[in-house]
Amino acid sequence: MGHDRKASVAVVGGGIGGLAAAAFLHRAGLDAMVYEQTPRLGDVGAGLIVAPNAARLLRRLPSAVTLERVGVVLEAGWEFRRWADGTVLFAQQLGEDCARRYGEHTWTAHRADLLEVLRSAVGDEAIELGRRCTGVTQDHGGATLTFAAGEPVRADVVVGADGIHSVLRGQVTTASVPRESGLCAWRSLVPAGAAPAFARRPVQVLWLGHRHHLVHYPVSAGRLVNIVAFSPARPGEVESWSAAGRQEDLAAEFAGWDPRLGQLIAAAGRVGRWSVLDRAPLPRWVNGRVALLGDAAHPMLPFFAQGAGQAVEDAAALAACLSAEPGDPGRALARYERIRAPRATRVQEASRGRIAHHHLADGPEQRARDAAFAAEDPLSHNDWIYAYDAEQAVRTELSLLCSEALIAAGGQVRLVGHSRTAHSTRTNHDHGESGFGRARQVRSTCRMRAG
Protein backbone atom coordinates (compact mmCIF):
# COMPACT_ATOMS: atom_id res chain seq x y z
CA MET A 1 0.00 0.00 0.00
CA GLY A 2 1.63 3.28 -1.09
CA HIS A 3 1.47 6.33 1.13
CA ASP A 4 1.38 9.42 -0.99
CA ARG A 5 1.50 12.02 1.73
CA LYS A 6 2.95 12.52 5.17
CA ALA A 7 1.00 14.92 7.30
CA SER A 8 1.97 15.46 10.85
CA VAL A 9 -1.71 15.73 11.81
CA ALA A 10 -4.51 14.35 9.63
CA VAL A 11 -7.91 15.78 10.46
CA VAL A 12 -10.95 13.81 9.30
CA GLY A 13 -13.93 16.12 8.72
CA GLY A 14 -14.07 19.67 7.41
CA GLY A 15 -16.86 20.98 9.62
CA ILE A 16 -16.37 23.71 12.19
CA GLY A 17 -14.41 21.41 14.51
CA GLY A 18 -12.10 19.99 11.81
CA LEU A 19 -11.31 23.32 10.15
CA ALA A 20 -10.80 24.95 13.54
CA ALA A 21 -8.39 22.16 14.49
CA ALA A 22 -6.33 22.69 11.32
CA ALA A 23 -6.40 26.47 11.79
CA PHE A 24 -5.11 26.32 15.39
CA LEU A 25 -2.54 23.65 14.50
CA HIS A 26 -1.19 25.83 11.67
CA ARG A 27 -1.09 28.82 13.97
CA ALA A 28 0.99 26.72 16.37
CA GLY A 29 3.39 25.92 13.51
CA LEU A 30 2.28 22.30 13.08
CA ASP A 31 1.60 20.60 9.78
CA ALA A 32 -2.08 19.59 9.41
CA MET A 33 -4.26 18.42 6.52
CA VAL A 34 -8.07 18.17 6.48
CA TYR A 35 -9.87 15.30 4.70
CA GLU A 36 -13.56 16.08 4.08
CA GLN A 37 -16.01 13.64 2.50
CA THR A 38 -18.20 16.17 0.67
CA PRO A 39 -17.14 17.72 -2.65
CA ARG A 40 -17.84 21.26 -1.30
CA LEU A 41 -17.53 22.83 2.13
CA GLY A 42 -20.46 24.40 3.94
CA ASP A 43 -23.37 22.99 1.96
CA VAL A 44 -25.63 22.46 4.96
CA GLY A 45 -26.46 24.35 8.12
CA ALA A 46 -28.01 27.58 9.25
CA GLY A 47 -27.36 30.06 12.04
CA LEU A 48 -25.10 29.63 15.06
CA ILE A 49 -24.48 31.66 18.19
CA VAL A 50 -20.77 32.31 18.65
CA ALA A 51 -20.46 33.03 22.36
CA PRO A 52 -17.43 34.85 23.88
CA ASN A 53 -15.66 31.59 24.80
CA ALA A 54 -15.51 30.66 21.10
CA ALA A 55 -15.24 34.17 19.64
CA ARG A 56 -12.11 35.06 21.63
CA LEU A 57 -10.38 31.98 20.22
CA LEU A 58 -11.57 32.53 16.65
CA ARG A 59 -10.35 36.11 16.68
CA ARG A 60 -6.81 34.95 17.51
CA LEU A 61 -6.65 33.16 14.14
CA PRO A 62 -5.04 34.83 11.14
CA SER A 63 -8.28 34.67 9.10
CA ALA A 64 -8.69 36.76 5.96
CA VAL A 65 -12.49 36.48 6.33
CA THR A 66 -13.29 37.81 9.78
CA LEU A 67 -16.17 37.50 12.22
CA GLU A 68 -16.56 41.29 11.95
CA ARG A 69 -17.25 40.92 8.24
CA VAL A 70 -19.77 38.06 8.36
CA GLY A 71 -21.19 38.10 11.88
CA VAL A 72 -23.71 40.11 13.86
CA VAL A 73 -22.89 41.41 17.34
CA LEU A 74 -25.81 40.65 19.64
CA GLU A 75 -27.20 43.47 21.76
CA ALA A 76 -29.17 40.99 23.86
CA GLY A 77 -29.19 37.23 24.20
CA TRP A 78 -31.28 34.52 25.82
CA GLU A 79 -34.26 36.86 25.64
CA PHE A 80 -36.83 34.35 26.90
CA ARG A 81 -40.41 35.29 26.06
CA ARG A 82 -43.74 33.83 27.02
CA TRP A 83 -45.38 31.89 24.17
CA ALA A 84 -48.81 33.52 24.26
CA ASP A 85 -48.02 37.23 24.37
CA GLY A 86 -44.26 37.71 24.19
CA THR A 87 -43.84 38.86 27.82
CA VAL A 88 -40.08 39.05 28.42
CA LEU A 89 -39.10 36.63 31.22
CA PHE A 90 -35.31 37.05 31.14
CA ALA A 91 -32.76 38.79 28.92
CA GLN A 92 -28.99 39.17 28.96
CA GLN A 93 -27.91 42.66 27.97
CA LEU A 94 -24.87 41.87 25.87
CA GLY A 95 -23.23 44.56 23.67
CA GLU A 96 -20.71 46.60 25.66
CA ASP A 97 -21.64 44.88 28.97
CA CYS A 98 -20.60 41.55 27.48
CA ALA A 99 -17.39 43.02 25.99
CA ARG A 100 -16.47 44.58 29.35
CA ARG A 101 -17.14 41.42 31.30
CA TYR A 102 -15.58 38.86 28.96
CA GLY A 103 -13.37 40.97 26.71
CA GLU A 104 -15.45 39.75 23.77
CA HIS A 105 -18.88 40.08 22.18
CA THR A 106 -21.49 37.42 21.56
CA TRP A 107 -21.89 37.01 17.80
CA THR A 108 -24.19 35.17 15.46
CA ALA A 109 -23.02 33.69 12.18
CA HIS A 110 -24.33 31.54 9.37
CA ARG A 111 -22.56 28.17 9.54
CA ALA A 112 -21.27 28.63 5.97
CA ASP A 113 -19.81 32.04 6.91
CA LEU A 114 -18.11 30.63 9.98
CA LEU A 115 -16.63 27.87 7.81
CA GLU A 116 -15.25 30.62 5.53
CA VAL A 117 -13.64 32.36 8.52
CA LEU A 118 -11.92 29.08 9.35
CA ARG A 119 -11.12 28.06 5.77
CA SER A 120 -9.42 31.41 5.21
CA ALA A 121 -7.16 30.67 8.18
CA VAL A 122 -6.37 27.13 6.97
CA GLY A 123 -5.78 27.68 3.23
CA ASP A 124 -7.27 25.54 0.46
CA GLU A 125 -3.99 23.69 -0.08
CA ALA A 126 -4.46 22.01 3.33
CA ILE A 127 -7.98 20.74 2.57
CA GLU A 128 -8.77 17.69 0.44
CA LEU A 129 -12.44 17.36 -0.55
CA GLY A 130 -14.26 14.22 -1.70
CA ARG A 131 -12.22 12.12 0.75
CA ARG A 132 -14.51 9.87 2.76
CA CYS A 133 -12.49 8.17 5.46
CA THR A 134 -13.27 4.49 5.93
CA GLY A 135 -10.95 3.61 8.79
CA VAL A 136 -7.69 4.05 10.64
CA THR A 137 -4.99 1.70 11.86
CA GLN A 138 -2.09 2.63 14.07
CA ASP A 139 1.31 1.25 14.92
CA HIS A 140 4.29 2.37 16.92
CA GLY A 141 5.37 5.00 14.38
CA GLY A 142 2.07 6.58 13.33
CA ALA A 143 -1.45 6.08 12.03
CA THR A 144 -2.78 5.26 8.58
CA LEU A 145 -6.10 6.49 7.25
CA THR A 146 -7.93 4.75 4.44
CA PHE A 147 -10.50 6.41 2.18
CA ALA A 148 -13.32 5.35 -0.11
CA ALA A 149 -11.34 6.98 -2.95
CA GLY A 150 -7.71 7.98 -3.24
CA GLU A 151 -4.50 6.93 -1.57
CA PRO A 152 -4.19 6.19 2.13
CA VAL A 153 -2.59 8.83 4.32
CA ARG A 154 0.04 8.29 6.98
CA ALA A 155 0.20 10.75 9.89
CA ASP A 156 1.70 11.13 13.34
CA VAL A 157 -1.69 12.01 14.81
CA VAL A 158 -5.27 11.55 13.55
CA VAL A 159 -8.09 13.82 14.66
CA GLY A 160 -11.62 12.48 14.24
CA ALA A 161 -13.72 15.60 13.66
CA ASP A 162 -16.25 13.66 11.62
CA GLY A 163 -19.39 14.72 13.43
CA ILE A 164 -22.23 13.06 15.27
CA HIS A 165 -22.10 9.90 13.08
CA SER A 166 -18.32 9.62 13.44
CA VAL A 167 -16.60 6.65 11.77
CA LEU A 168 -13.46 7.16 13.84
CA ARG A 169 -15.32 7.05 17.15
CA GLY A 170 -15.48 3.25 16.85
CA GLN A 171 -11.63 3.18 16.76
CA VAL A 172 -11.37 5.10 20.00
CA THR A 173 -14.16 3.96 22.23
CA THR A 174 -17.50 2.21 22.33
CA ALA A 175 -20.02 4.40 20.57
CA SER A 176 -22.45 5.93 23.04
CA VAL A 177 -26.00 4.85 22.39
CA PRO A 178 -28.28 7.57 21.02
CA ARG A 179 -30.83 8.68 23.60
CA GLU A 180 -34.18 9.76 22.21
CA SER A 181 -34.64 13.40 23.13
CA GLY A 182 -38.25 13.10 21.93
CA LEU A 183 -37.76 16.34 20.00
CA CYS A 184 -37.87 17.36 16.40
CA ALA A 185 -35.83 20.38 15.26
CA TRP A 186 -36.94 22.79 12.55
CA ARG A 187 -34.67 25.26 10.81
CA SER A 188 -35.22 28.00 8.30
CA LEU A 189 -33.56 31.17 7.04
CA VAL A 190 -35.83 34.10 6.26
CA PRO A 191 -34.61 37.04 4.12
CA ALA A 192 -34.47 40.02 6.50
CA GLY A 193 -36.67 42.08 4.16
CA ALA A 194 -39.51 39.56 4.59
CA ALA A 195 -39.15 39.20 8.38
CA PRO A 196 -41.12 41.26 10.90
CA ALA A 197 -39.12 44.13 12.49
CA PHE A 198 -38.95 42.49 15.95
CA ALA A 199 -37.04 39.54 14.44
CA ARG A 200 -34.50 41.78 12.71
CA ARG A 201 -33.22 43.18 16.03
CA PRO A 202 -29.72 41.94 16.94
CA VAL A 203 -31.22 39.82 19.69
CA GLN A 204 -31.36 36.06 20.29
CA VAL A 205 -35.00 35.50 21.21
CA LEU A 206 -36.43 32.27 22.65
CA TRP A 207 -40.18 31.80 22.85
CA LEU A 208 -41.10 29.20 25.47
CA GLY A 209 -44.31 27.15 25.57
CA HIS A 210 -45.63 23.71 26.38
CA ARG A 211 -43.41 21.03 24.71
CA HIS A 212 -42.23 23.62 22.16
CA HIS A 213 -39.82 26.49 21.85
CA LEU A 214 -38.70 28.68 18.99
CA VAL A 215 -35.48 30.68 18.67
CA HIS A 216 -34.64 33.45 16.20
CA TYR A 217 -31.82 35.90 15.56
CA PRO A 218 -30.28 37.67 12.55
CA VAL A 219 -27.24 36.21 10.75
CA SER A 220 -25.09 36.96 7.67
CA ALA A 221 -24.42 40.58 8.60
CA GLY A 222 -28.19 41.01 9.13
CA ARG A 223 -29.30 39.87 5.65
CA LEU A 224 -31.11 36.77 7.01
CA VAL A 225 -33.07 35.81 10.10
CA ASN A 226 -32.32 32.34 11.43
CA ILE A 227 -35.19 30.31 12.90
CA VAL A 228 -34.71 27.14 14.90
CA ALA A 229 -37.72 25.57 16.57
CA PHE A 230 -38.37 22.44 18.63
CA SER A 231 -41.53 20.37 18.89
CA PRO A 232 -42.35 16.78 19.86
CA ALA A 233 -40.81 14.25 17.43
CA ARG A 234 -42.94 11.98 15.30
CA PRO A 235 -42.14 8.30 14.72
CA GLY A 236 -39.69 7.70 11.86
CA GLU A 237 -38.04 11.13 12.05
CA VAL A 238 -34.43 11.05 10.75
CA GLU A 239 -31.35 12.62 12.31
CA SER A 240 -29.95 14.75 9.50
CA TRP A 241 -29.22 18.42 8.83
CA SER A 242 -30.44 18.08 5.26
CA ALA A 243 -33.85 16.41 5.87
CA ALA A 244 -36.68 18.62 4.59
CA GLY A 245 -39.85 19.67 6.38
CA ARG A 246 -42.90 21.72 5.40
CA GLN A 247 -43.56 25.32 6.33
CA GLU A 248 -47.27 24.58 7.00
CA ASP A 249 -46.35 21.81 9.48
CA LEU A 250 -44.05 24.21 11.33
CA ALA A 251 -46.82 26.81 11.38
CA ALA A 252 -49.28 24.21 12.75
CA GLU A 253 -46.90 23.40 15.65
CA PHE A 254 -46.96 27.04 16.75
CA ALA A 255 -50.61 27.83 15.98
CA GLY A 256 -52.18 29.98 18.71
CA TRP A 257 -48.83 31.50 19.82
CA ASP A 258 -48.14 35.25 19.73
CA PRO A 259 -49.24 36.39 16.22
CA ARG A 260 -45.78 37.91 15.56
CA LEU A 261 -44.39 34.36 15.48
CA GLY A 262 -47.05 33.37 12.93
CA GLN A 263 -45.82 36.25 10.71
CA LEU A 264 -42.22 35.12 11.00
CA ILE A 265 -43.02 31.49 10.22
CA ALA A 266 -45.18 32.55 7.27
CA ALA A 267 -42.09 34.22 5.78
CA ALA A 268 -40.05 30.98 6.02
CA GLY A 269 -39.22 29.37 2.66
CA ARG A 270 -37.22 26.15 2.79
CA VAL A 271 -37.64 24.40 6.11
CA GLY A 272 -35.35 21.69 7.48
CA ARG A 273 -36.70 19.18 9.95
CA TRP A 274 -35.11 16.28 11.78
CA SER A 275 -35.10 14.22 14.93
CA VAL A 276 -32.82 15.47 17.69
CA LEU A 277 -30.87 12.59 19.18
CA ASP A 278 -28.85 12.97 22.30
CA ARG A 279 -25.81 10.89 23.22
CA ALA A 280 -24.37 10.09 26.60
CA PRO A 281 -20.85 11.44 27.26
CA LEU A 282 -18.14 9.10 25.93
CA PRO A 283 -15.85 7.30 28.36
CA ARG A 284 -12.78 8.09 26.19
CA TRP A 285 -11.85 10.59 23.49
CA VAL A 286 -8.36 9.32 22.75
CA ASN A 287 -6.80 6.00 21.80
CA GLY A 288 -3.05 6.20 21.20
CA ARG A 289 -2.54 8.57 18.27
CA VAL A 290 -6.23 9.03 17.46
CA ALA A 291 -8.30 11.74 19.17
CA LEU A 292 -11.93 12.75 18.77
CA LEU A 293 -13.03 16.36 18.61
CA GLY A 294 -16.31 18.31 18.29
CA ASP A 295 -19.57 16.43 17.79
CA ALA A 296 -17.63 13.18 17.26
CA ALA A 297 -16.56 13.45 20.91
CA HIS A 298 -19.49 15.24 22.53
CA PRO A 299 -22.67 15.61 20.47
CA MET A 300 -24.97 17.78 22.56
CA LEU A 301 -28.47 19.17 22.49
CA PRO A 302 -28.37 22.73 21.18
CA PHE A 303 -29.97 24.32 24.27
CA PHE A 304 -26.87 26.21 25.38
CA ALA A 305 -25.97 26.95 21.73
CA GLN A 306 -22.49 25.56 22.47
CA GLY A 307 -21.87 22.57 20.17
CA ALA A 308 -19.72 24.53 17.71
CA GLY A 309 -18.26 26.63 20.51
CA GLN A 310 -17.06 23.52 22.33
CA ALA A 311 -15.59 22.20 19.06
CA VAL A 312 -13.60 25.45 18.71
CA GLU A 313 -12.42 25.13 22.32
CA ASP A 314 -11.34 21.51 21.61
CA ALA A 315 -9.42 22.68 18.55
CA ALA A 316 -7.53 25.42 20.39
CA ALA A 317 -6.73 23.11 23.32
CA LEU A 318 -5.60 20.28 21.03
CA ALA A 319 -3.17 22.55 19.18
CA ALA A 320 -1.83 23.93 22.47
CA CYS A 321 -1.27 20.41 23.86
CA LEU A 322 0.40 19.10 20.68
CA SER A 323 2.65 22.12 20.30
CA ALA A 324 3.76 21.83 23.95
CA GLU A 325 4.70 18.19 23.45
CA PRO A 326 5.50 17.70 19.74
CA GLY A 327 7.75 14.71 20.40
CA ASP A 328 5.22 12.76 22.43
CA PRO A 329 1.80 12.80 20.76
CA GLY A 330 0.44 10.11 23.09
CA ARG A 331 1.08 12.27 26.15
CA ALA A 332 -0.18 15.41 24.41
CA LEU A 333 -3.45 13.71 23.42
CA ALA A 334 -3.94 12.25 26.89
CA ARG A 335 -3.57 15.77 28.30
CA TYR A 336 -6.05 17.09 25.70
CA GLU A 337 -8.62 14.52 26.84
CA ARG A 338 -7.97 15.27 30.51
CA ILE A 339 -8.52 18.99 30.02
CA ARG A 340 -11.39 18.92 27.55
CA ALA A 341 -13.62 15.98 28.55
CA PRO A 342 -14.86 17.35 31.91
CA ARG A 343 -15.61 20.77 30.44
CA ALA A 344 -17.49 19.52 27.36
CA THR A 345 -19.34 16.90 29.43
CA ARG A 346 -20.55 19.62 31.78
CA VAL A 347 -21.95 21.64 28.87
CA GLN A 348 -23.44 18.46 27.34
CA GLU A 349 -25.28 17.58 30.58
CA ALA A 350 -26.39 21.16 31.20
CA SER A 351 -27.86 21.32 27.69
CA ARG A 352 -29.83 18.16 28.31
CA GLY A 353 -31.22 19.59 31.53
CA ARG A 354 -32.85 22.42 29.62
CA ILE A 355 -35.50 20.31 27.82
CA ALA A 356 -37.88 20.11 30.75
CA HIS A 357 -37.08 23.67 31.82
CA HIS A 358 -37.99 25.18 28.43
CA HIS A 359 -41.10 23.13 27.75
CA LEU A 360 -43.31 23.48 30.83
CA ALA A 361 -47.07 23.74 30.50
CA ASP A 362 -48.65 26.82 32.06
CA GLY A 363 -49.07 26.13 35.77
CA PRO A 364 -47.24 26.24 39.11
CA GLU A 365 -43.91 24.88 37.76
CA GLN A 366 -43.88 27.35 34.89
CA ARG A 367 -44.67 30.22 37.29
CA ALA A 368 -41.84 29.11 39.59
CA ARG A 369 -39.47 28.99 36.62
CA ASP A 370 -40.49 32.45 35.49
CA ALA A 371 -40.09 33.80 39.03
CA ALA A 372 -36.60 32.28 39.17
CA PHE A 373 -35.80 33.92 35.82
CA ALA A 374 -36.88 37.29 37.20
CA ALA A 375 -34.69 36.90 40.29
CA GLU A 376 -31.47 36.09 38.39
CA ASP A 377 -28.60 38.28 37.28
CA PRO A 378 -28.85 37.40 33.58
CA LEU A 379 -25.24 37.93 32.52
CA SER A 380 -23.45 36.13 35.34
CA HIS A 381 -25.79 33.18 34.64
CA ASN A 382 -23.42 32.03 31.86
CA ASP A 383 -20.09 33.13 33.38
CA TRP A 384 -18.90 29.54 33.64
CA ILE A 385 -19.25 29.15 29.89
CA TYR A 386 -18.32 32.59 28.55
CA ALA A 387 -15.34 33.43 30.77
CA TYR A 388 -13.48 30.22 29.93
CA ASP A 389 -10.35 30.48 27.78
CA ALA A 390 -9.39 27.05 26.38
CA GLU A 391 -5.80 28.07 25.56
CA GLN A 392 -5.35 29.53 29.04
CA ALA A 393 -6.70 26.28 30.52
CA VAL A 394 -3.89 24.35 28.79
CA ARG A 395 -1.29 26.89 29.92
CA THR A 396 -2.57 26.62 33.50
CA GLU A 397 -2.40 22.83 33.42
CA LEU A 398 1.13 22.95 32.02
CA SER A 399 2.31 25.44 34.65
CA LEU A 400 0.82 23.30 37.41
CA LEU A 401 2.66 20.28 36.07
CA CYS A 402 5.82 22.33 35.84
CA SER A 403 5.46 23.57 39.40
CA GLU A 404 5.06 19.99 40.57
CA ALA A 405 8.11 18.93 38.57
CA LEU A 406 10.12 21.86 39.97
CA ILE A 407 9.09 20.98 43.50
CA ALA A 408 10.11 17.40 42.83
CA ALA A 409 13.45 18.53 41.43
CA GLY A 410 13.97 21.02 44.26
CA GLY A 411 13.01 18.34 46.78
CA GLN A 412 15.84 16.21 45.55
CA VAL A 413 18.24 19.09 46.14
CA ARG A 414 16.97 19.67 49.67
CA LEU A 415 17.23 15.98 50.43
CA VAL A 416 20.88 16.01 49.38
CA GLY A 417 21.50 19.08 51.56
CA HIS A 418 20.01 17.27 54.54
CA SER A 419 22.13 14.22 54.03
CA ARG A 420 25.33 16.19 53.40
CA THR A 421 26.88 15.28 56.73
CA ALA A 422 26.30 11.58 56.15
CA HIS A 423 28.15 11.42 52.84
CA SER A 424 31.43 12.39 51.33
CA THR A 425 31.62 15.97 49.98
CA ARG A 426 32.10 14.76 46.40
CA THR A 427 28.98 12.53 46.39
CA ASN A 428 26.86 15.29 47.91
CA HIS A 429 28.23 17.85 45.50
CA ASP A 430 27.39 15.58 42.55
CA HIS A 431 23.81 14.97 43.78
CA GLY A 432 23.37 18.65 44.53
CA GLU A 433 24.54 19.69 41.08
CA SER A 434 22.30 17.18 39.37
CA GLY A 435 19.35 18.34 41.49
CA PHE A 436 19.93 22.01 40.57
CA GLY A 437 20.62 20.99 36.99
CA ARG A 438 17.33 19.07 36.85
CA ALA A 439 15.42 22.02 38.33
CA ARG A 440 17.02 24.37 35.82
CA GLN A 441 16.17 22.01 32.95
CA VAL A 442 12.53 21.56 34.10
CA ARG A 443 12.19 25.33 34.51
CA SER A 444 13.38 26.05 30.99
CA THR A 445 11.20 23.27 29.47
CA CYS A 446 8.23 24.62 31.39
CA ARG A 447 8.89 28.17 30.23
CA MET A 448 8.93 26.87 26.66
CA ARG A 449 5.69 24.88 27.07
CA ALA A 450 3.65 27.33 29.08
CA GLY A 451 4.85 30.37 27.13
User: Which residues contact ligand FAD by CB under 6 A?
Assistant: 12-18, 35-38, 48-49, 131-133, 161-164, 167, 185, 187, 228, 294-296, 302, 305-309, 311
Taking the complex as a whole, the smallest distance from the CB of residue 50 to ligand FAD amounts, in Å, to 7
Nearer to ligand FAD, 156 or 295 (CB): 295
d(CA 81, CA 72): 21
Nearer to ligand FAD, 78 or 373 (CB): 78
The one catalytic residue in 35, 102, 217, 388 is 217
Q: Which of 116, 119, 108 is nearest to 47 (CA)?
A: 108
Nearer to ligand FAD, 163 or 435 (CB): 163
Nearer to ligand FAD, 158 or 267 (CB): 158
Nearer to ligand FAD, 105 or 431 (CB): 105
Is 336 a residue of the active site? no
Taking the complex as a whole, the smallest distance from the CB of residue 389 to ligand FAD amounts, in Å, to 16
Taking the complex as a whole, the smallest distance from the CB of residue 422 to ligand FAD amounts, in Å, to 60
Taking the complex as a whole, the smallest distance from the CB of residue 15 to ligand FAD amounts, in Å, to 2
Taking the complex as a whole, the smallest distance from the CB of residue 111 to ligand FAD amounts, in Å, to 7
Cite the active site residues: 217
